[in-house]
Structure 1
């Protein structure tokens, strides 16, 4: 009887740990609940998202087929429509290729555009 209980406990533990979230879909989310009265700025909000999710390919010298660099404020500002398009895709061409940005991060990027692409 003890062996049977041990098997049940071990099976439950394996199932519990197998269901934990550690997928590549958990892309960095710097501020999951931004204050809606505060203007979104590149320096305070967007730069960390770009640095954490885009710079790997969109560096000063783009790699892995990336067509543009997103290192500076001006580069990100000029590419914002393409960035928004790519992060909102679900199929071919979605960015970042290693996962999906959370809805709150996508909304933050859109809010930055709507707020006027403020630098600071």
Structure 2
């Protein structure tokens, strides 16, 4: 007998989402993607973010798309997350899809 999967899961990312705890964050995100069709990621508590976190989120998006699942942010990236996106060059030539995901904007 197979167990029914959750339709949606919300993940609260801790205040520190950086190289020091990226393995734990990755495990939580991956487990949620394996369990649910849609994963919502809440970044509102984040105050220490680095490139490893952004790369992990991008990997989660790619995995979700390949598995027919969705990943979204609870709210647009702001504060340290937005600043890290800018520093890392994520916003330099942003696609409409990336603008919808990271900034909740239809156009740039």
User: Which structure is larger by alpha-carbon Rg, 1 or 2?
Assistant: 1
* Structure with greater strand share of residues: 2
The structure with higher relative contact order (CA 8 Å, sep 6+) is: 1
